[in-house]
Amino acid sequence: MCYRIISFGFLLICVQSINAEIPSYLKVCHKGPEFSACAVKSGNDALPHLLKGEKKMKIPNMLPMRFPEVDVDAGPTLKIKLFDLDVFGLDTVVLKNVKIDFDKLHVTLFMNAKRAALIGKYEVDGQILVLPIQGNGNLNITIENSDFQYDFNYKLVKKNDVDYAQVLPEDTLEFQIPMAYIQLDNLFNGNKQLGDHVNKFLNENHQDAIKEMSGAIKVTISAIGRQFFQGIFDSIPYKDLFLD
């Protein structure tokens, strides 16, 4: 499964450190037995501030997060392309657990989103579940009470003889979405009868439908995660971010 994504937000992240002071709302944690509990509290306290944008860390306003284009090749039977996509509901995300392997340089985050929505425009062609599907128009995918596990590796890079963390691209996102609403307008060149039938079928089988469309969710949420953490990592030296 391949993804191509274009985001204005990515253009805001530079690879050079800006040596920003740590904001007062972001508490750094010591490595050790209490690290996870500290990181969860610190993360949940900082999220409302960071999601509104943090210029010093080059993190844009993510309420909502805008993606001009998301191109998802979901395999040989389904192609999805999204345009002018807004991701709403990041302010409902709650961090549940944080695990960092400081030897393997690996991060695992467990989160819950009470309600989130992908609103934009789409082009789709292929087959989803057992139904052929084709069309373009407005898109609404709304999910509720969803659990996410986001994993990524990082490496240390030297900038002016100081170590900074850098997120590596091979990240993964797994999720459990118990409830979803799916609406694709203008299916089959505006054939209302066929369009209503497909939308009804997708919502009656929303868990299976979400699995088929999971690429669109994974690529957008993973992109937000990479941007979010790289903004922090670029701004704060590693030794100051994770205390011994």
Structure confidence at residue 196 as a pLDDT band (50, 70, 90): very high
Look over the chain and give the mean of its residue pLDDT values, rounded to a whole number. Answer: 90
CB-based burial label for 151 (10 Å; 0-12, 13-18, 19+): middle
| Predicted TM-score (pTM) above 0.85 | yes
Q: Give residue 188's Cα distance to chain centre.
A: 30
Q: Could you state, in order of their start, the residue ranges of all structural domains in the chain?
A: 2-243
In which element (H, E) is residue 35 found? Answer: helix 35-50
Is residue 214 pLDDT above 90, yes or no? no
Query: pLDDT tens digit string along 1-39?
Result: 444 444 434 333 333 333 457 899 999 999 999 999 999
Across residues 76-103, what is the average pLDDT?
A: 95
Query: pLDDT tens digit string along 115-161?
Result: 999 999 999 999 998 889 999 999 999 999 999 999 999 999 999 99
Q: Where are the beta strands (DSSP E) in 76-217?
A: 78-88, 93-101, 106-128, 131-159, 162-167, 172-176, 179-184
Q: What does CATH list as the number for 2-243? A: 3.15.10.30
Cα angle, residue 197 at apex, residues 196 and 202 outer, rounded to 5°: 95
Compute the distance between CA of residue 105 and CA of residue 103 in angstroms, rounded to an integer.
Answer: 6
Query: pLDDT tens digit string along 137-146?
Result: 999 999 999 9
